[in-house]
Structure 1
Amino acid sequence: MNISLPVYQHPTLTILIDDSQSFLDSLAFQLPPNMVRKVFHDTQLALEWLRDAYRHSPSKSQSIRVNYDEQSFSFDRRTVAVDIDQIYRQSMNRRRFLLPSVLVIDYAMPQMNGLAFCEAVRDLPCKKILFTGQADEKIAIDAFNRGLIDRFIKKSDHDALDHLELEIHSLQKEFFHTRSLTLKDLLSRHSYTFLSDPAMAALAEQLCKRHGFVEYYLFPNPTGILFFDMQGKATLMVVETEASLMSQLEVAQDYAAPLELLTGLREMRLVPFFSDSDGMYTDAIRHDWLSYCLPAQICFGTQEYYWALFDFPKHYSREPFYSLADFLRDQSADIKS
């Protein structure tokens, strides 16, 4: 089980493939209405659709740029730059909910069996669940051991649908962890150490359940996580460390900030979000500084993280937000092929 944070996560598409249309209809009906899915009973159509979907999806590496010495054209002097803005800007992509993350496919189909299909899409990043009959279990175990599928579920199990729902949720998380690996490795070495901290991952999970957050993205300034609920309400979790709070304190001291603010920062009892002054204290907010601060809550991980949840300022959003609720209104929960 992965116990670290991906750099972003949002609802995605589950693909259901079975040659029985009646079984697909029954399966789609019994899954939760906010679990967006697309159904296929024709494997060739499914194969073409999947490849086309990934062809038009954003690249997971678009936030990374490799530079080299332009005078010598040498790659021996390479630098890697990460555009963190590109991470949270993915929340502005209206097609993000149409990204396929999990494939659920029946094994026994006349046109192409489930394993042959999984082999055909082995190069795609979607996670794969194989539905099997009792007689196919040994085949499924072998496919799992070879890495061809990620899970298998027997149709005959009395709790098969409950099991399927749990595995879909689990694999959707794994999908984003896999897509985040390179970025997270780069970022967690510097200012974003909390990405690799299990305590922060557990906290983010708790906040999602408590506040109904359905998607989140790493945010650059101030450092933190931008959450959205189903209706698109944005909440910013500002994450500070002792070092970053001391940097805030130094700037506030340079401006001779009010004593209460200086004391709160020095004692690490306040988390600031100076949203009208580029993230740091200035004289312009001297008489209203308290409205930019919240009491610090502490996450005890590999180090102590000081955090607070702020309503995301409207002037930070440059365009209308397309929420999961908007998407579900525009699309039926079952997206017919």
Structure 2
Amino acid sequence: MNISLPVYQHPTLTILIDDSQSFLDSLAFQLPPHMARKVFHDTQAALDWLRDAYRHSPSKSQSIRVNYDEQAFSFERRTVAVDIEQIYRQSMNRRRFLLPSVLVIDYAMPQMNGLAFCQAVQDLPCKKILFTGQADEKIAIDAFNRGLIDRFIKKSDHDALDRLELEIRSLQKEFFHAQSLTLKDLLSRHSFTFLSDPALETLVEQLCKRHGFVEYYLFPNPTGILFFDMHGKATLMVVETEASLMSQLEVAQDYGAPLELLTGLRELRLVPFFSDSGGMYTDALRHDWLSYCLPAQICFGAQDYYWALFDFPSHYLREPFYSLADFLRDQSADIKS
């Protein structure tokens, strides 16, 4: 699997499909409460819902456009423009948590067996786990080798539920790797080199565990990653390199910034987030510049990255935020009603 950061990642739906309603109820109950899921005991209903869900997928709003230089006639000189703001703006889509990323499908079902179901949704990007009985193991292995499924788990295994939870989490991550592969390859060649650095991926995973972040999005200016916790609290991880801090230094020098700020930038000790001035130092910040800076922490990767975590100003989002906690509350209310 590719070891690098997706350009965004958020909680998604796990779809459970089994002809036994009692088994579905038991399985859904035993999964962690914060792992959103939807259950189907009718395969046709599941197929119809999945296709409709992907027709309304929030990822369709992501904008990648190719612009052609009128003065350039060769293919090699074509330029690609990416509307990076559209990446973190996906956090404002209330339907993002309804995106189905992983299917957990029983094999032996009367309407349509699990393998036939996987073939029917082969064109969809969701990952697939086949839940099988002991007698179906050879069928599952063959389906895995043919690429029809991504994992299979035997129901009879003593640790089947623990394995299922682990595999769901792993495949959700693979889902976002696949969804953002083209964007990542484009962006990591330019200002977002950290996307392809395993050291940054490890750091982001550690920060998610430490601070309870459940979703994140690439942020364009300043370069970094925008995190949200379960209740919608936003935190921006600003990621700088030595070159980008020297660019900040040049701007600050042009504006006659205080010596302490210039020294901190020159010595790579400060990470700024001038949130009220378009990201760069201005005269208006002279007497309050320290409140816009934090001590630089260092991530040693393919190059040194200087980073800090800032509270994210609410005016950047422009509208009320719909959090994972809001979604789970609404989903629970729908089930009860």
TM range (shorter): over 0.9
1:14 aligned partner: 14
**Distance of 1:333 and 1:129 partners within structure 2:** 28
Q: In structure 1, the residue corresponding to 2:78 is in which secondary structure? A: strand
Asked if structure 1 preserves the Cα contact closer than 8 Å seen for 2:197 and 2:301, the reply is yes
Q: 1:314: Cα distance to partner?
A: 2.0
Asked if structure 2 preserves the Cα contact closer than 8 Å seen for 1:272 and 1:294, the reply is yes
Q: 1:21: Cα distance to partner?
A: 0.4
Asked if structure 1 preserves the Cα contact closer than 8 Å seen for 2:187 and 2:193, the reply is yes
**Distance of 2:243 and 2:109 partners within structure 1:** 59
Asked if structure 2 preserves the Cα contact closer than 8 Å seen for 1:35 and 1:333, the reply is no
**Distance of 1:59 and 1:313 partners within structure 2:** 25
Asked if structure 2 preserves the Cα contact closer than 8 Å seen for 1:39 and 1:335, the reply is no
CA deviation digits over 1:107-145, x for unaligned, max 9?
011110000000000000000000011111111011001
Asked if structure 1 preserves the Cα contact closer than 8 Å seen for 2:58 and 2:95, the reply is no
Asked if structure 2 preserves the Cα contact closer than 8 Å seen for 1:7 and 1:218, the reply is yes
Q: 1:2: Cα distance to partner?
A: 3.3
Asked if structure 1 preserves the Cα contact closer than 8 Å seen for 2:129 and 2:151, the reply is yes
Asked if structure 2 preserves the Cα contact closer than 8 Å seen for 1:37 and 1:333, the reply is no
Larger relative contact order (C-alpha < 8 A, sep ≥ 6)? Answer: 1
Q: 1:78: Cα distance to partner?
A: 2.9
Give the direction of change, closer, same or farther, for the CA distance of 1:333–1:205 in structure 2 (3 Å limit).
farther
Q: Which runs of 5+ in 1 are unaligned?
A: none
Q: 1:333: Cα distance to partner?
A: 8.6
Asked if structure 1 preserves the Cα contact closer than 8 Å seen for 2:132 and 2:154, the reply is yes
Give the direction of change, closer, same or farther, for the CA distance of 1:335–1:242 in structure 2 (3 Å limit).
farther
CA deviation digits over 1:255-284, x for unaligned, max 9?
111111000000000000001111111110
Give the direction of change, closer, same or farther, for the CA distance of 1:335–1:2 in structure 2 (3 Å limit).
farther
Give the direction of change, closer, same or farther, for the CA distance of 1:132–1:334 in structure 2 (3 Å limit).
farther
Give the TM-score normalised by structure 2. 0.96
2:264 aligned partner: 264
Give the direction of change, closer, same or farther, for the CA distance of 1:26–1:201 in structure 2 (3 Å limit).
same
Q: In structure 2, the residue corresponding to 1:256 is in which secondary structure? A: coil
Q: Could you tell me the percent identity over the aligned residues? A: 92
Give the TM-score normalised by structure 1. 0.96
Give the direction of change, closer, same or farther, for the CA distance of 1:336–1:165 in structure 2 (3 Å limit).
farther
**Distance of 1:31 and 1:61 partners within structure 2:** 31
**Distance of 2:32 and 2:333 partners within structure 1:** 9
Q: 1:76: Cα distance to partner?
A: 7.3
1:164 aligned partner: 164
Give the direction of change, closer, same or farther, for the CA distance of 1:279–1:37 in structure 2 (3 Å limit).
same
Give the direction of change, closer, same or farther, for the CA distance of 1:69–1:293 in structure 2 (3 Å limit).
closer
CA deviation digits over 1:182-228, x for unaligned, max 9?
00000000000000000000000000000000000000000000000
Asked if structure 2 preserves the Cα contact closer than 8 Å seen for 1:37 and 1:335, the reply is no
Q: In structure 1, the residue corresponding to 2:75 is in which secondary structure? A: strand
Q: In structure 1, the residue corresponding to 2:128 is in which secondary structure? A: strand
Asked if structure 2 preserves the Cα contact closer than 8 Å seen for 1:68 and 1:74, the reply is no
Give the direction of change, closer, same or farther, for the CA distance of 1:72–1:183 in structure 2 (3 Å limit).
closer
Asked if structure 1 preserves the Cα contact closer than 8 Å seen for 2:50 and 2:100, the reply is yes
Asked if structure 2 preserves the Cα contact closer than 8 Å seen for 1:270 and 1:296, the reply is yes
Q: 1:80: Cα distance to partner?
A: 1.1
2:188 aligned partner: 188
Greater mean alpha carbon deviation, residues 168-177 or residues 62-71: 62-71
**Distance of 2:335 and 2:189 partners within structure 1:** 41
Asked if structure 2 preserves the Cα contact closer than 8 Å seen for 1:38 and 1:334, the reply is no
Q: In structure 1, the residue corresponding to 2:77 is in which secondary structure? A: strand
Q: In structure 1, the residue corresponding to 2:16 is in which secondary structure? A: strand
Q: In structure 2, the residue corresponding to 1:307 is in which secondary structure? A: strand
Q: 1:334: Cα distance to partner?
A: 8.5
Give the direction of change, closer, same or farther, for the CA distance of 1:71–1:185 in structure 2 (3 Å limit).
closer
Q: 1:75: Cα distance to partner?
A: 6.6
Q: 1:3: Cα distance to partner?
A: 2.0
Q: Which runs of 5+ in 2 are unaligned?
A: none
Q: In structure 2, the residue corresponding to 1:318 is in which secondary structure? A: coil
Give the direction of change, closer, same or farther, for the CA distance of 1:292–1:14 in structure 2 (3 Å limit).
same
Q: 1:69: Cα distance to partner?
A: 4.9
Asked if structure 2 preserves the Cα contact closer than 8 Å seen for 1:37 and 1:334, the reply is no
**Distance of 1:178 and 1:20 partners within structure 2:** 32
Q: 1:58: Cα distance to partner?
A: 2.8
Give the direction of change, closer, same or farther, for the CA distance of 1:306–1:167 in structure 2 (3 Å limit).
same
